[in-house]
Structure 1
Amino acid sequence: MTMNPNQAQDVWKDAGEHVQFTVLELKREDQAKEQAAIEEFVDRYQAIVRSLRIRDNRGNLKASLGFSNAAWDYLFPDAPKPKELETYKTISGDKYAMPATEGDIFLHIRANDEAAVYELMAQCMLFLKDYTTVVDETKGFRYFEGRAIIGFIDGTEAPQVEDAAEYAIVGDEDPFFENGSYAFAQKWRHHMDIWNKLTTEDQEKAVGRKKSSDLELKDAEKFKNAHNVASQSQDQRG
């Protein structure tokens, strides 16, 4: 068996016009009942998605479902576990921290029509509401030209569609979970009042690119902690 992007969850394709990220926490009141409920939900989940794609055949509905390390141990104690599934721990720097937060089940839903996003989440909650608590629900939308809310094009250096599967999908290094994936759910808060008071030139230095054209600035023109400097991640192949 080899990695097949067509059999993987929609974790590496387009962002969608409307999106919702939902994080749920298991109530952990009755393990046996919760295990049975989640197993039923997982069994029905793909059929729910397929049904909504038929009902809204132009909606480009995409959905991804994931479980935390703690949830996996609680729900599937006797099942194999993905090799790289682990509990995220807070990362702290000199000035800032990326805190660990609670959560057991992660749903990422996107579509061209917000009604499809709402309906899929509503149908999922028919199975989950009695056994989980919503700890975070974040909605998003496609901003002008697909830009980030700060006005810049986002993801220029991210792997493109033809290459993304290699980075996003589990291959034969973990055969039992081949075509699976891992999710890192992060939320970044932007202080827009402060950002909008900056000149365009300073915004460009902070991002490392021209705001209109998206052309990269020369290193000498950027702030030392510019976004496209601080966010670089490279392996042996560059």
Structure 2
Amino acid sequence: MSVGPRTLSIMSEAQQILDPLTRAARFLVVTIDDGGESSVRELLADLSGLRRSVGFRVPGADLSCVTGIGSAAWDRLFAGPRPAELHEFPGFAGPRHQAPTTPGDLLFHIKAEAQDACFELAMAIGERLRGAATIVDETVGFRYFEQRDLLGFVDGTENPEGAFAASTALIGAEDAAFAGGSYVVVQKYLHDLEAWNALPVSEQERVIGRSKLGDYEMSDAEKPLNSHVAVNTLIDPDGTQRQILRANMPFGSVRESEFGTYYIAYAATPSVTERMLERMFLGSDEAAYDRILDFSTPITGTLFFTPPAGFLDDLPDPPTAPAVPEPAPASSGDGSLGIGTLK
């Protein structure tokens, strides 16, 4: 597919959303404390410089940081227009499984080929936010064997590529003021590996809809309608398949027996990601829910807007503080305003 002028323009403005997966990642979700807006704005304006300072000391690490801003935080930080589709993550409560909505004003998706680079930049961000914001979740992601998740299946095979990835993940003329931006949904899924590993491989493959070893998608005749692949195949009435750009990473703790996937999905419109999640949790005419949810449970859920790179280097003005009303004149007690005398 050729890359047209629109795609080139978008790609030149975007944060490093379209870059390939790295070996390491660190995800920070942050809430802004009361009165912390000014310090947060200063950090956002300095973030590209912080990344360069850390990245220069780790040659070859390809350190980057994609920054997202939540709906409530946007109005606390910026005056002027908002991204057209920015809203709070709605959450999804199905009859059997639920996707919660959890707090989050800022997302820092830190990526590199080396974990020390991710850690150093996360420390710098945390220091700048001290006293102004609270880190409510920090997750260390890593690339697992052959791009697999901790369930043992390859994750992200059907991600769009090239120009199609850009048009899938990045806003264009439909919201020209924010062209090059993207909406991102993040969720932390915890896996019940004991129950999962008790399934024979053939049954695991039916849950996912792909072969485990070779990563080949099952035929429509073989693939169960409630498999993860089938449920997440989204077709518009005109036959167009809608996609998202996933940057999922495994995470885990042997001591805590915590094994999971950090789901992170970029899209030009959050409606595509939300439609997929709706099908997963609330079901459709074809399936009651996504069967993977019997083994994977989300414990967080937040939606952010990742503005184009130039936005962070030249932030809009802060919102105008509400005018403080002048105190009412004191009464003299006799019904007059007590201003001077008529004598």
Pair in the same fold by TM > 0.5: yes
1:26 maps onto 2:32 in alignment: yes
In the alignment, the residues of structure 2 paired with residue 150 and residue 166 of structure 1 have an alpha-carbon distance, to the nearest angstrom, of 30
Secondary structure of the 1:48 match is helix
More helix by share: 1
After TM superposition, the structure 1 stretch with the greater mean CA deviation from structure 2, 172-181 or 201-210, is 172-181
Scaled by the length of structure 1, what TM-score is found? 0.92
Q: Which runs of 5+ in 1 are unaligned?
A: none
* CA offset digits 1:56-80 (Å, max 9, x no partner): 220011211111000111222x222
**Which residue is equivalent to 1:90?**
91
The Cα shift of 1:133 comes to: 1.0
In the alignment, the residues of structure 2 paired with residue 74 and residue 209 of structure 1 have an alpha-carbon distance, to the nearest angstrom, of 45
In the alignment, the residues of structure 1 paired with residue 167 and residue 196 of structure 2 have an alpha-carbon distance, to the nearest angstrom, of 35
The Cα shift of 1:199 comes to: 0.6
The Cα shift of 1:219 comes to: 2.9
The one-letter code of the counterpart of 1:6 is S
1:175 maps onto 2:176 in alignment: yes
In the alignment, the residues of structure 2 paired with residue 37 and residue 189 of structure 1 have an alpha-carbon distance, to the nearest angstrom, of 33
The Cα shift of 1:134 comes to: 1.3
In the alignment, the residues of structure 2 paired with residue 42 and residue 58 of structure 1 have an alpha-carbon distance, to the nearest angstrom, of 24
Structure 1 stretches (4+) deviating beyond 6 angstroms?
none
**Which residue is equivalent to 2:227?**
226
Q: Which runs of 5+ in 2 are unaligned?
A: 242-343
Contact 2:31 2:103 in 1 (8 A): yes
1:4 maps onto 2:17 in alignment: no
The Cα shift of 1:233 comes to: 2.0
Contact 2:10 2:171 in 1 (8 A): no
The Cα shift of 1:92 comes to: 1.4
Instruction: Find the structure with the greater CA-based Rg.
Output: 2
Task: Give the number of aligned pairs.
Answer: 233
In the alignment, the residues of structure 2 paired with residue 129 and residue 227 of structure 1 have an alpha-carbon distance, to the nearest angstrom, of 41
Contact 1:13 1:161 in 2 (8 A): no
The Cα shift of 1:225 comes to: 1.0
The one-letter code of the counterpart of 1:103 is G
1:72 maps onto 2:66 in alignment: no
The Cα shift of 1:220 comes to: 3.4
Contact 2:37 2:132 in 1 (8 A): no
Percent pairwise identity: 35
Secondary structure of the 1:50 match is helix
Indicate the RMSD between aligned Cα atoms, in angstroms: 1.6
In the alignment, the residues of structure 1 paired with residue 136 and residue 22 of structure 2 have an alpha-carbon distance, to the nearest angstrom, of 23
The Cα shift of 1:13 comes to: 2.5
The one-letter code of the counterpart of 1:144 is F
The one-letter code of the counterpart of 1:104 is D
In the alignment, the residues of structure 1 paired with residue 12 and residue 123 of structure 2 have an alpha-carbon distance, to the nearest angstrom, of 26
